[in-house]
Amino acid sequence: MSEKKIEARSQGSFPMDDPTQGLLHDHQFIRQLLQRYLSTQDQKVKQYAGPRICEALLQHTRLEEAVFYPAVEKLDVAMTTRCLDDHHAVDELIEQMQHLLPGDLAYDELVTHLNEAIQVHMELEEQQLFPLVRKSSLNLQDLALRMQSFESSMVSAQAKSVGQRSARGDQLH
Ligand SMILES: [Fe+2]
């Protein structure tokens, strides 16, 4: 099997003429992390890949829920509702994972469930929702800009909260 390593998309970058390409890149990155976790017995690889799966998925689903779905839902309300329901199922699995350690049997089982749920969800988006968006009359450039700006502010808010946490940590020493 040829292995082409996919890097995380650089934050805030979307092809201006088609923001679904940025979401597709996220999907490929997430698929690769899931594959890495599920195809190894190496605990170190699991400890690395497990939290990264959760982080990449949460960032991706927050962006879709805050900007992408609201912008495209009028094209097919039933489909975006189904996508949101899928996200809620994913959120619940991630919530459970966050109480366990990567590599534990129960964590492995949750990753297997997550993989099944997410593959079906990503296929729905890639085969039906994204093509619908691409051929719609929506202003894709405006959508790409709004997605970029949401993602940039999400990343800087995270950096700020990490900074505040470490500043508080410093005060304790
Ligand atoms: Fe999604």
In terms of Cα–Cα distance, which of 25, 3, 1 is closest to 13?
25
Ligand 1 centroid to 87 CA: how many Å? 6
If you count them, how many residues does the chain have?
Answer: 173
Write down the pLDDT at residue 8: 81
Reported pTM: 0.87
- CB-CB contact of 42 with 108 (8 Å): no
Ligand 1 centroid to 136 CA: how many Å? 19
Distance CA(40)–CA(49), nearest Å, equals 10
Ligand 1 centroid to 171 CA: how many Å? 40
pLDDT digits (tens, 9 = 90+) for 37-81: 999 999 999 999 999 999 999 999 999 999 999 999 999 999 999
pLDDT digits (tens, 9 = 90+) for 89-104: 999 999 999 999 999 9
**CB within 8 Å of 51: residues ≥ 6 apart:** 102
Residues 29-35: contacts with CB under 8 Å, at least 24 apart: 29/56, 30/56, 30/57, 30/60, 30/118, 30/122, 31/119, 31/122, 32/5, 32/6, 34/111, 34/114, 34/115, 34/118
Ligand 1 centroid to 57 CA: how many Å? 9
Ligand 1 centroid to 164 CA: how many Å? 30
Ligand 1 centroid to 109 CA: how many Å? 21
